[in-house]
Amino acid sequence: MNNNLTPFPQELIFHVGDVSAAPTVSFEFFPPKTEEMEQRLWETIVELAPLRPAFVSVTYGAGGTTRERTHATVRRILKETSLTPAAHLTCVGASRAAVDEVARAYWESGVRHIVALRGDPPQGSTVYAPYPGGYAYANELVEGLRRVGDFEISVAAFPEKHPESPSFEQDMEVLKRKVDAGATRAITQYFFDADLFYRFMERVEKAGIKIPIVPGILPIGNFAQVLKFSHMCGASVPPWLHEMFDGLDGQPVTRNLVAAYVAVEQCRKLQQQGVRQFHFYTLNRADLTAAVCHVLGVRRQADARAEPTRETAQG
């Protein structure tokens, strides 16, 4: 036996598949448009539920276009699974009264967690304009939600700053306003370079922000789509990532393995910075998120299935 081998770095041994170091995870879904998509979402939920996420969130389409579908998906999760749903809600295209009504309906149906967002301009417009009589920005929405019920409220944060913010300072000011209004957690826009998060957290600390900041992780299922979306939302795609996916267009299996590797590496670097919670943008597919979670030590729990609860099974 060769005793001269260089030992693996401790943090590597500690993190790979180490159940005792497993992070807390949460998953984001979008509301399905068709029955086929609904079926796929439900298969995804069934697959991911045993990983016992802290919560699962359901997005709200630009301009409130998915209001009914978001609500229906959240209701179904609440009724048919043991998962804790979080409903996204935006300020776009609705009066304060209409938004309050949606929030009240959530509260009454038992939903206790809202992801409160300003939202992007509806299709067809490029510039955001507050709706007349509506909540203008996310901090106002947070304030409004506080009046409706004692919700847990997550808000958005941007390690690379929001594309409309003129500076990092102003962006941090905006996040601080949302926290002061009553936000209890921030979830970040996705990013690929772990150092960006480190620098962001330095600014968060300097601003005296104390709520948990959960990094949003996007496992890359479709690189071309990620490039397009990143351009719109202001997330940078580093050169090494282009190189990583170069030449893999016709090789879906290899591409998937590479995507899982990239996300695991990112999470491990973040864990080395002290991160213990991740929010996964699943895009309604289970495979990549499940694989990444597994490597990070998150294991399936038999008693946390997305099956009808006894209550619903008995009608």
Q: Quick one: 88 or 268, whose CB is closer to ligand FAD?
A: 88
Q: Is 28 marked active-site? A: yes
Contact call for residue 164 and ligand FAD (CB under 6 A):
yes
Question: What mask of x and - would describe binding to ligand FAD in positions 91 to 130, judged by CB under 6 A?
Answer: ------------------------x-xxxx----------
Q: Quick one: 74 or 117, whose CB is closer to ligand FAD?
A: 117
Contact call for residue 142 and ligand FAD (CB under 6 A):
no
Task: Report the SS3 class of residue 166.
Answer: coil
Residue 162: phi, psi to the nearest 5? -70, 140
Find the largest Cα–Cα distance for the chain. Answer: 75
Q: How far is CA 169 from the centre of its chain?
A: 24
Contact call for residue 189 and ligand FAD (CB under 6 A):
yes
Q: Which of 11, 28, 47, 164 is catalytic?
A: 28
Beta carbons of 221 and 283 less than 8 angstroms apart: yes
Q: Quick one: 42 or 60, whose CB is closer to ligand FAD?
A: 60
The Cα–Cα gap between 109 and 254 comes to 43
Of 102, 174, 259, 292, the one binding ligand FAD (CB under 6 A) is: 174
Best CA proximity match to 138, nearest among 91, 87, 189, 98: 91
Contact call for residue 165 and ligand FAD (CB under 6 A):
yes
The Cα–Cα gap between 259 and 265 comes to 10
Distances (CA, A) of 209 to 83, 87, 265: 29, 24, 27
Smallest gap from residue 259 Cβ to ligand FAD (A)? 20
Of 55, 60, 151, 197, the one binding ligand FAD (CB under 6 A) is: 60
Task: Report the SS3 class of residue 200.
Answer: helix
Chain contacts with ligand FAD (rule: CB under 6 A): 59-60, 62, 88, 90, 115, 117-120, 137-138, 156, 162, 164-165, 170-171, 174, 178, 187, 189, 216
